[in-house]
Structure 1
Amino acid sequence: MRILWTYGSIDSTRTLIDSGEHGRIDGESADSAGPSGLDSVTEVATLRVHDGHQAAFERAVARAAPLFQRTAGARTFALESVAEDATEYRLIVRWESVDHHMVTFRDSPEFQEWRALVGEHLAEPPRVEHLKNVLTAF
């Protein structure tokens, strides 16, 4: 996926190259500022994959990124691997609220598609927590 970013002092927008979708990104910063920052949460999902499935899992997550991106309330999406354990990952998704994750996304066809893409690679059910930012120092 290619994204064209435009930043200005008054307007911050993005255009998804493939679809042409264009919109504001005010709420997509790493901190809690933004239109709905007071309720925003960060989903941290611990994902353990079958050994030998790492590359296929990473490709599946990359294919799934647009599913999250088009879901109302999703702000950022990242996958991190655990340096000490090659079979463990953290999926980090910033949402406008817990309900945007647990209701809007979980009740959507996008969630079913997400599970279909990554399910065969998971060695155990994901462990999910929702974090609220208390302090961003730098």
Structure 2
Amino acid sequence: MPIAHNAEPTDLRSALVELRHAQSEVERLRPFVAMADGAQQAEEQRDGAYRERAHLVALVAGGLAERAVVAPAPDVTEPGWQILYITLHGRQCSWHIAPQDAGLFEFFDHVTADDPRAQWDGHTTEAKYEHIAYLAEALGTPGPFRKAN
């Protein structure tokens, strides 16, 4: 419980008592400061991972997609969020794009949220990544996607 401060201490004894109370309060709150620091570090690591993902998604969209459009994200209340819709080998894949990553996608076609090209087809995250795994394997082996050297 915080100490109520009515007035500044007027003598050394009351100043020392107040100092001890302040030190006690600092020690009581120290674990919460450590938790906040840890949470901030975890958030920074998460944001860094999302930034890396955004770079890779932009590369895939620019190099492999048959079609790519960016639209506002109607399902996110924070301003600036977008969704990238791409077609890879005939299937839709989509990702939410954070406002801080929007610059990676500025060169793609931007459409309104009601544009027919920006309508989610119902694919699941699991199905999306299964399809990407299939394409990654196909691109890594000779065949219709990649010619043998």
Please report the TM-score for the alignment, with normalisation by the length of structure 2.
0.24
Report the structure number with the largest CA radius of gyration. 2
* Bigger relative contact order, structure 1 or 2 (CA pairs below 8 A, ≥6 apart): 1
Structure whose residues are more often helix by fraction: 2
What's the TM-score once normalised by structure 1's chain length?
0.25
